[in-house]
Structure 1
Amino acid sequence: MKTILRQEINIRCLGFSHDRPEQFVRCQWQKNDGVSIIYLVYRWIFGILFLSVWIWSFFSAAQQNTPTENFLSKWPIYLTNWGYTLCTAQALLAAGLVTQQLVKERKTGFTTDHAQTPVIYKAYWLLHTLAVVTAISITGSYFVIDYDPAVHNLTALNLLMHAFNSILMVLDIILVAHPFRLIHFCWSLLFIFVYFCFSVIYHLAGGTGKNNAPSIYPALDWSKVESTLPIAILGMLAVILAHFCTWLAVIARNRIARSKDDKSEEPKISKLSSNQVQPMDVVMS
């Protein structure tokens, strides 16, 4: 583990260069090279599901509009919607990349002719990292801090946005083959820091939350800095923890996959059945 940590905590790993770009269009568990049709179908179902819920959240916000308040205009202020947008963007991009690779393979055969990781792959890698960490953080913070049974109804949309978002992203991190770097926690941390800065600016500009609440979230009321700042710091620490746990899960995924590959490559020696005729030299010996 110390060796892995030394390799991961390296300034050169802060970027998104990778010597095996084909891993971004493959499933960790597929046996053959090239794009798996099953994985392609999964990628499109995954992308369409996220896109459908994302659009549903828009319509749901619009339906709640009243003469005194426009709920749709406040849709962009919530971290949940920021996180779900990340999940949707990376899911659709992944589906597009896998489809593009399949078309390429059908024309020229499977190839890994990228000398460097294409920029579009790097963008997907960044979005995927942010999406999985943010989804886990949102689920944890919602049910630990924000959820109030007297105020929040656990509707299908609510569960999809606050619970199944992280369940689906954890499933995805188990299935994908591309790496997840520990030092990339800097990008996850930067994302949540940008949101907190936005919430401060929004508050100073006189913005209000749902039902004209004085803050976006009750726990993120910047008129009470002495109590809100510690919560914001804890939120950033929670993001780091979520990133670290995800990295450990990826290490476990890779080791399990390698162990299966090693077993499949071991030569199999079949035992002679009792009714098989043994070679003469074996019998004489």
Structure 2
Amino acid sequence: MGEGKECSPQSFLFSSTDSWRLYSPEYRAAKAWRIFYLLWRWCWAIFFAVFLIFTGAAEQTWYDDESQRVKWFIYLTNWGMLAFTIAQLVNTAVCTAGFRLHESSEGIKWYMKLNWFLYEFTSGETILISLLFWALIYDDRYTLTIDTYITHGVNGLHTLIDLWITAMPIKALHFYLPALFGLLYIVFSIIYDYSGGTNALGKTYIYSVLDWNEDATFAAIYSVGAIVGLIVLHFILFGFFKLRVRLYGYCSSRNNSRELNTKTNRYDEVEVSEY
């Protein structure tokens, strides 16, 4: 299908890309690299899935008593981790299904579009949640655990590294996807606060910076800033995507040129020898 123009209607949806990008690494000339990519996907999907199950089953320090454990689902960090893990599992399944496919043998199927949607829906939020945590929530009184580092660091770092390995596209006009994630959580937090909900420590808010009952103006400013941050991050990741494609394309053209020169030199040597 090929890459569509960034400002075309097709780029606003999920059809303006080559199908192989939705299940392959950027470099796919060598089968060994495709195998590595598949193993990469499986290892990280298992890691994040096991971690998510563990955090739900193990005793934690973020709630007052066992009855508050269900409030795991009210926190932005956990929303992000859950969505990110689902995206990893879907990505792994799609890459496994597409391992033996070739570019010309498969159109863009619905599950590939779902993979693309989840990838762009969750990539920016993993990074922003980490930035917001370390900038606004963490202080010297906060107890750091392995959970903290995974949910506010490892997932975001994985996103940044994976961006240079995967062939998954990022479209400029898909900026609404991370913004949608942020908007959904903000609407939830408003409804939760005004419904009298409390966090796991009995406070009348989920996060102090999102206390709609106490200071709705500040919460609104913070929310708008977070959504703007998600959009900005999306365009930064879009820039990285474009740079990745150019770098791989440049390296590929140099390798092809080197191979062509080698073949030409061998041909000339054969001609001279025969002469």
Q: Partners in 2 of 1:180 and 1:61 — Cα distance?
A: 38
1:95 aligns with one of 92, 97, 121: 92
* Secondary structure at the counterpart of residue 8 of structure 1: coil
Counterpart for residue 160 of structure 1: 150
Counterpart for residue 123 of structure 2: 132
1:253 aligns with one of 236, 241, 244: 244
Cα offset for 1:32?
A: 3.3
Counterpart of 1:77, as a letter, is I
Is residue 63–residue 200 contact of structure 2 (8 Å, CA) maintained in 1?
no
Q: Partners in 2 of 1:245 and 1:111 — Cα distance?
A: 28
Counterpart for residue 243 of structure 1: 234
- Aligned length, in residue pairs: 267
Q: Deviations over 1:175-218 (max 9, x none)?
A: 11121101111111111101100000001111111311111111
2:106 aligns with one of 110, 114, 125: 114
User: Structure 1 residues 42 and 61 mapped into 2: Cα distance closer, same or farther (>3 Å)?
Assistant: same
Counterpart of 2:156, as a letter, is S
Cα offset for 1:277?
A: 11
Q: Partners in 2 of 1:140 and 1:90 — Cα distance?
A: 20
Identity of aligned residues (%): 23
TM-score normalized by structure 1? 0.85
TM-score normalized by structure 2? 0.88
Q: Which runs of 5+ in 1 are unaligned?
A: none
Is residue 27–residue 33 contact of structure 2 (8 Å, CA) maintained in 1?
no
* Secondary structure at the counterpart of residue 80 of structure 1: helix
Cα offset for 1:16?
A: 0.8
Q: Partners in 1 of 2:264 and 2:109 — Cα distance?
A: 49
Counterpart of 1:90, as a letter, is A
Q: Partners in 2 of 1:200 and 1:56 — Cα distance?
A: 29
Where has structure 1 moved over 6 Å in runs of 4 or more?
none
Q: Partners in 2 of 1:148 and 1:12 — Cα distance?
A: 45
Cα offset for 1:65?
A: 5.6
Is residue 180–residue 250 contact of structure 1 (8 Å, CA) maintained in 2?
yes
Q: Partners in 1 of 2:178 and 2:45 — Cα distance?
A: 22
User: Structure 1 residues 23 and 35 mapped into 2: Cα distance closer, same or farther (>3 Å)?
Assistant: farther
Greater Cα offset, 250-259 or 32-41: 32-41
* Secondary structure at the counterpart of residue 204 of structure 2: coil
2:209 aligns with one of 193, 196, 219: 219
Q: Partners in 2 of 1:136 and 1:130 — Cα distance?
A: 12
Counterpart for residue 42 of structure 2: 44
Is residue 11–residue 173 contact of structure 2 (8 Å, CA) maintained in 1?
yes
Counterpart of 1:230, as a letter, is I
Counterpart for residue 16 of structure 1: 14
Q: Partners in 2 of 1:239 and 1:16 — Cα distance?
A: 20
- Map of 1:61-210 to 2, 5 A cutoff? 66-67=64-65, 70-102=67-99, 105=100, 110=102, 112-115=104-107, 117-150=108-141, 152-210=142-200
Q: Partners in 2 of 1:123 and 1:36 — Cα distance?
A: 21
Q: Partners in 2 of 1:175 and 1:279 — Cα distance?
A: 44
Q: Considering only aligned residues, what root-mean-square deviation do their CA atoms show, in Å?
A: 2.7
Counterpart of 2:37, as a letter, is Y
Counterpart of 2:13, as a letter, is G
Is residue 23–residue 112 contact of structure 2 (8 Å, CA) maintained in 1?
no
Q: Partners in 2 of 1:238 and 1:197 — Cα distance?
A: 17
Q: Partners in 2 of 1:111 and 1:250 — Cα distance?
A: 20
Q: Partners in 1 of 2:192 and 2:137 — Cα distance?
A: 19
